[in-house]
Structure 1
Amino acid sequence: MTIAEAPPILDFSVFYGNDQQAKDKLVEDVRKCCLHNGFFQITGHSVSADLQQNLLRCVKQFFALPQLDKDAVLKDQNTWNRGYEKIGSQILEAGTAPELKEGFYIGEEISKEHPYFINKRLNSGPNFWPERMPNVEGFKQVAMDYYHAMHVLAKDVLTVIAQTLNLDPYYFKDFTTDAVATLRLLHYPPQAPDSDEKISRGIGAHTDFGSVTLLMQDEVDGLQVYEKTTNEWLDVEPVRGAYVVNLGNAFMRWSNDKYISNLHRVINKSGKERYSVPFFYSGNPDYMIDCLPNCLKAGEAPKYDPITVEAAVKGAYQKSYGAAETFKKGVVSTVKAVENTIAV
C-alpha cells in the first residue's frame, strides 16, 4: 500500500477456502493495514447481499418516520444505550458543533432478568423498538438477523488479526465469548452548501472505542480517513456489499501502539441523504485489555495500564456525549446573555 492511498479492498473469501498461500497473503495484507492506518475494506465475506439490502431498506424506513414517532423511542429514556439518538446529540471532535447525524442503537435482545442487565453491564438490556413503525416485527427480525451475522464476521476478522501478530488464530476466543456489541443505524442529512466545514461535521474526527468496527455504507460517500504521513483526509469510496474495517482504541492498548486506531470523520457534502450501519464490537465486558504477546520489544514497558473492556468503552461514551451537552449549555448561556444585554 502506497502513501496517501485510500484503504485497500481485500478479498476475504480466501479466509473460508483451502488455499494456504492466499490465506497467508490476506494475513500479510491485513498486517500492513493495521500498521499503517488501521483501515481496510473487505469483500467476499459471510454476510449475504440480500440481508445487507434488507437492512438498508429498514434503516431508510425508520428515519423516514415522523419525528414524534422517533422521539417516542429516545435512548435518553434508558441507561443502557438503546433507541433513537437525535441530531446534535454528540460531539467527537473538539472545536466543532454538535454532529449532523441521527441514529438508532440496537444490541443483543436480553431481558431485565439477564445477569448483564441486573449487573448493569456495558450497553446491555432490552432493545427499545419503534412500535409505531409499520411492519415493526419485520424490522426487528431483519435487524437481529443482521446483528447476529455481524458477530460471526467480527470473530472471523479477529481470527485474521490474531495471525497478523503471530498469535494462535483463536487467541481472542475468551474476548469474543459473551461479547457485547452495538449495531448503530445512521442517517446524515446533507449539509448546507454554505456550511462552515471547519465546524460542521456529520461525525467529527475521532477514533473508535472498542476492538474492531465493521461499517456498511450506502452509495453516498462522505467517510474520510486521516493520512498522517501526508497530513490529508482520504475519501473512502463506497463499494457495494463491502465492509470498511477499522481497529478501535482497544487494539492501540493491546498492541502497545504498534497497531493504529486511526482518526476518521464524515462530512456529507453530496447534497443527498446518506445512510450507514456501523457494527461496534466491544467484546466481553469483563475481559482485561493488557499488552498482547509479541508487541513488546526487549526491555520495552507497556504504555498502558490494564483496563476492562467495560471501563474503557464507558469512559469514551461519557466523554463524547458530555461534550455535546456542554456545548448546548454554552449556546443557551450565550443567548441569554445577549438577551439580557438587549433588555438593558
Structure 2
Amino acid sequence: MSTPSAPPILDFSPIYGEDGEAKTRLVEEVRKCCHYNGFFQITGHHVPLELQRRVMNCSKRFFDLPLEEKLKIDKNLNSFNRGYELLRSQMLEVGTGPELKEGLYIGEEIPEDHPYFLQKKLNSGPNQWPQAVPDTEEFQKTTMEYYRAVFELAKDVLAVLALTLGVESSYFDPLTAGAVATMRFLHYPAQPKDEDEILNRGIGAHTDFGCVTLLLQDEVDGLQVLDAPTGEWLDVKPVPGAYVVNLGNLFMRMANDKYKSNTHRVINKSGKERYSIPFFFSGNPDYLCECLPNCRESGEDAKYPAITVQDMVTASYKESYGRAEKYKKEMETKKMDELPAVAAVGA
C-alpha cells in the first residue's frame, strides 16, 4: 500500500497553451484527484504573485483594526453575508467548540436595486467596507481586483473539470454565468499550545458547501486534509503562489458521489497568527444542479434529486451557524446553572 501524501501540486499552465499532450496529462491528473479526495494544488495559473501579496497585506491591515472598528461592518447587521464575522461565530464540526477564527466576507458589488438583491439571492448585496483601514481606497481596489482574478481562475478550473467528465470545456458556462462567489479574509489567532485542540480549532473538520474552493495560504501552515482510506490527517504545506483547490458538496452531489468533497480542518499550533483567503465559488443561484454526464454506471439512477445552487448552499449556511448559536446558548445555560452551587460554596 502506498504512503498517503498531501494534495499534489499540478502545473496548470498547459490549459492556457497549445501543447495538447500536456493538457491531456493535466486533465487526467485532475480526474484522479477528483476520484480520490477532491483536493489538488495548482501553480502556473494567471493570478500574479504580486497581486496575491497585495491582497494578503490588505487582509492583515483589516484584522489589525480595533474590534470596535471591525464591528461597525458586522455581517449580522445585514441579511446577505457581507462584512465582518466575529471570532467563534461558526461551528462546522459537531463535538468541537465554535471556531477560533475571524473573517471578512466579500463578494461582487451588488447594488440594492439589482435583481439578485431584490430577490434575496444567495449572499447578494453591496460589500461592507471598513472606513478606518489604512489607505481605504487602495484596500477596496486591490480586494476587488483580486476577487475578479480568482473568479476567472475558478471558471478555468471548472472548464478543466468539464474535460475530466468527457464533455466540452464550455459545459459549465450556464453555471458560471451570473454566478455568486464569496471570498473571505480569514485570521486565525495564535493558539496556545496547551489549549484543548478539540475546543479551539481554527476550523473544525468539514466539507465545503458549494462547487469549488480556491484557497490562498500565507506562510503559516495548519490546513489538514483527511486521507479517507487510512484515516490519517495530512498537512498541506503552504506553497508560494499556489492555490489549494477542492471540490464542494454541491459538485460531489452533481457527480453522483463519483467525485469527492473531502473533509478538511485547520488547527493552528504554529504559535503564530495565520491568514488565508478562501474563494468559495457557488454558481448561478438559479442553476439547477442535476447528475452530470458520465457520472452514472449503466442502469444506475441519480442518487440525488435536482436542487438549485441557492437552496443547497443556503441550507448549509443555516446549519453551521445555527450549530454555533446553539452551542453558545447551551454554554450560557450551563454557567447559569452552576452559579447557585458556586454561591453555596462561598456562603
Where on the TM-score scale, by shorter chain, does this alignment land: which range? over 0.9
Tell me the CA shift for residue 198 of structure 1.
2.7
Tell me the CA shift for residue 50 of structure 1.
1.0
Residue pair 1:129, 1:140 contacting (<8 A) in 2 also = yes
Percent sequence identity is 60
Kindly indicate whether residue 47 of structure 2 is the aligned counterpart of residue 54 of structure 1: no
Aligned pairs, number: 344
SS, match of residue 268 in structure 1: coil
What does the per-residue CA deviation read over 1:148-200, in whole Å, with 9 as the maximum and x for residues that have no partner? 11111001000000010101111000000000000100000111111112332
Aligned AA (2:327): F
Match of 1:242 in 2: 242
Distance between the aligned counterparts of 1:193 and 1:295, measured in 2?
45
User: Which runs of 5 or more structure 2 residues have no equivalent in the other structure?
Assistant: none
Residue pair 1:222, 1:270 contacting (<8 A) in 2 also = yes
Pairing 1:316-335 to 2, within 5 Å after superposition: 316-335=316-335
What does the per-residue CA deviation read over 1:50-90, in whole Å, with 9 as the maximum and x for residues that have no partner? 11000000001000011111111110000000000011000
Match of 2:196 in 1: 196
Residue pair 1:288, 1:309 contacting (<8 A) in 2 also = yes
Residue pair 1:216, 1:242 contacting (<8 A) in 2 also = yes
Distance between the aligned counterparts of 1:283 and 1:294, measured in 2?
21
Pairing 1:267-278 to 2, within 5 Å after superposition: 267-278=267-278
Distance between the aligned counterparts of 2:97 and 2:192, measured in 1?
14
Residue pair 1:225, 1:234 contacting (<8 A) in 2 also = yes
Match of 1:79 in 2: 79
Residue pair 1:3, 1:229 contacting (<8 A) in 2 also = no
Match of 1:291 in 2: 291
Distance between the aligned counterparts of 2:69 and 2:187, measured in 1?
16
Aligned AA (1:53): R
Match of 2:69 in 1: 69
What does the per-residue CA deviation read over 1:291-334, in whole Å, with 9 as the maximum and x for residues that have no partner? 01111111111111110000000000000000110010001000
Residue 224 to residue 337, structure 1, CA distance change in 2 (3 Å): same
Report the TM-score, using the length of structure 2 for normalisation: 0.98
SS, match of residue 333 in structure 1: helix
Residue pair 1:6, 1:236 contacting (<8 A) in 2 also = yes
Kindly indicate whether residue 152 of structure 2 is the aligned counterpart of residue 162 of structure 1: no
Tell me the CA shift for residue 117 of structure 1.
0.3
Aligned AA (1:109): E
Aligned AA (1:182): T
Report the TM-score, using the length of structure 1 for normalisation: 0.99
Residue pair 1:181, 1:281 contacting (<8 A) in 2 also = yes
Distance between the aligned counterparts of 2:200 and 2:93, measured in 1?
10
What does the per-residue CA deviation read over 1:272-302, in whole Å, with 9 as the maximum and x for residues that have no partner? 0100000000000000111011111111111
Distance between the aligned counterparts of 1:58 and 1:342, measured in 2?
46
Aligned AA (1:255): A
Distance between the aligned counterparts of 1:305 and 1:13, measured in 2?
36
Tell me the CA shift for residue 3 of structure 1.
4.7
Match of 1:106 in 2: 106
